[in-house]
Chain A
Amino acid sequence: MLDWITGKGFRNSLTPRVCAMVALLIGTAAAQQDAGTFFKQNCTSCHTIGGGRLTGPDLKDVGSRRDRAWLVQFLQSPKAMIDSGDLYATKLQQEARGVVMPNIAGMNPQQAQALVDMISTESKLPRSQFAGMQISDRPLTDQDIAKGRLVFLGEQQLSGGGPACISCHTVKGLTLLGGGRLGPDLTRVYERLQGRKGLAAWLSSPASPTMAPVFKDHAIQPEEVLSLVALFEDSAKRGGQDDTTSLLNFFLLGVGGMVLGLISLDALWKTRFRGVRRSMVHKNDRGEG
């Protein structure tokens, strides 16, 4: 017993080493799994591992392209790396047609290390679980566009329960007063995200910091994704971007409503008492008060 307390027994036993190894293995597995979940939630909208390029590059064997320290640093702050003039980071931005990888919430040195490890492990597999989603490549029809329009406007609700696109986004010529402007104009998003595959990946798992919390439990379903892709492909073909006249119209309608409101209040209190006792005021003015 004393040996056990002083630790002598441990030194002579294999048990602690086995325990340590098991703990290490479990710990590594857990970190890998966490990195996997993290990757799924934050990265798959722009990256695959072995599935080809989306908005961002295919990450298969990324460890052989750049060293670990660079990757860990880049993962934590892509924009800072680009701003610092790093040549490779700048090249990545150009390849992504100017799209800058956003800072990812929850990214820290440990998480970045775990991600690099996970990507390296997944790269060795014949087919990674992150090889990308399969989206139909059938030609998109007018019916798809019409359905995409309904989904965008919210007339057909997203089956996952997410909010309609129009809440925050606009597309040129879609409706009377346009769509929302909290998020970017999506008229040419089909071009920005480099076509059907990139756009579909983004829609399946929106990773921008504003959309991620809203859609994390309300994923857009594949058939809805396809309809939206059809709508955006069509809008990109038409080109341009939504103008801001709809904002002015909205403001003017609001002002009109306010004026009507004030007129109604005046009418409602038509017989109101309009001043202090005027006779007393006049008396005061005449110096009699």
Chain B
Amino acid sequence: MTNPTMNLLLFAMLPYVALFVFFLGTIMRYRKAPFTYSSLSSQFLENNQHFWGLTALHYGIFAILLGHLMGLLIPRQVLLWNSRPLRLYVLEIFSLAFALMALVGFVGVIERRIRYPKARTVTTPADWIIESMLILQAAAGIYVAIFYPWGTSWYSTSAAPYLHSIFFFRPDISYLVTMPFIVKFHVVNGWLIVGFFPFTRLVHALVAPLPYLWRKPQLARWYGIGILPVWPRRPSGVRD
């Protein structure tokens, strides 16, 4: 990844190809096959390990994506926060904890799909590929966080200007070309994930049922709950 032509291809051209495919792909899929816009729950097939993978990966990835977004949108404020070593360390430790949580989650969900035949049956090749990409991405990010600290600061001064240059159509790869291999890998794999996004279950992120957060609570009545002969326990969240 040190060849200048390769650098241009990977850091200046790949992003545009990936973004183009992302927008075109997500829109086309929504228009042509709206009912596939889902991550097809497999909770019914196995529910115990599912919890540990699912919650850990989602809460981890939410926090990490939010961090990347903040570095991109308000880099100066992030640097201002980091201008006291203690605050820098707190931010870094929290970020690392969430990143590890995401990694544990990703490994948990893929292991579950390997281990439980029922879950394996409903797993597509695209699932395996995107899962592997996400695990690699999280692992590379964690490696960078540990061995090339302090990323929350230098992301704001080196990665954010690169991303700005891409989004404003003035690609400037000078910030990236001298970065260590693993940082470059994280960036390239990131763009590949963006490009592959529309063809995977990740599209569910675009149609997250956010109104659930503020809509009025609904009361579900479970008729006949008392007449079943063996009912181990009442499902949680069900009131009567």
From A166, A254, A274, A275, B100 is in contact (CB under 8 Å) with A254
CA of A253 to CA of B85 in the docked complex: distance in angstroms?
16
A214 CB contacts on chain B under 8 angstroms: 157-158, 175
Produce 1/0 per residue, A80-108, CB < 8 A to B: 00000000000000000000000001000
Produce 1/0 per residue, B150-186, CB < 8 A to A: 1001101110010000000000101101111000000
CA of A3 to CA of B99 in the docked complex: distance in angstroms?
78
Name the CB-closest residue of A to B238.
A273
B83 CB contacts on chain A under 8 angstroms: 153-155, 157, 164
Chain B interface category by residue count: 35 or more
A167-B82, A210-B158, A273-B235 known; A254-B55 Cβ under 8 A: no
Could you tell me if A167 and B96 are in contact, using CB atoms closer than 8 angstroms? Answer: no
A180 CB contacts on chain B under 8 angstroms: 148-150, 153-154
From A179, A247, A262, B52 is in contact (CB under 8 Å) with A262
Interface of B is mostly: helix
Interface of A is mostly: loop
Could you tell me if B48 and A254 are in contact, using CB atoms closer than 8 angstroms? Answer: no
A167-B154, A182-B154, A262-B56 known; A257-B93 Cβ under 8 A: yes
Could you tell me if A260 and B235 are in contact, using CB atoms closer than 8 angstroms? Answer: no
Mark the stretch among A52-60, A66-74, A122-130, A264-272 that contacts chain B: A264-272
Could you tell me if A163 and B149 are in contact, using CB atoms closer than 8 angstroms? Answer: no
Question: Residue B51 at the A interface, CB < 8 A?
Answer: yes
A157-B83, A163-B79, A213-B174 known; A181-B148 Cβ under 8 A: yes
Tell me how far the C-beta of A72 lies from the nearest C-beta in chain B, rounded to whole angstroms. Answer: 19
Which A residues are within 8 Å of any B CB, using their own CB? 105, 153-155, 157, 162-164, 166-168, 175-182, 208-210, 212-214, 247, 250-251, 253-258, 260-262, 265, 269, 271-279
Which B residues are within 8 Å of any A CB, using their own CB? 44-48, 51-52, 55-56, 59-60, 79, 82-86, 88-89, 92-94, 96-101, 104, 145-150, 153-154, 156-158, 161, 172, 174-175, 177-180, 230-232, 235-237
What are 30 A-B interface contacts by the 8 Å CB criterion? A154-B84, A154-B153, A155-B84, A164-B82, A164-B83, A167-B150, A176-B85, A177-B85, A178-B149, A180-B153, A180-B154, A182-B154, A182-B180, A209-B174, A210-B179, A247-B147, A247-B149, A250-B92, A250-B93, A253-B96, A254-B99, A257-B98, A258-B100, A262-B104, A269-B51, A271-B236, A273-B237, A274-B47, A276-B46, A278-B232
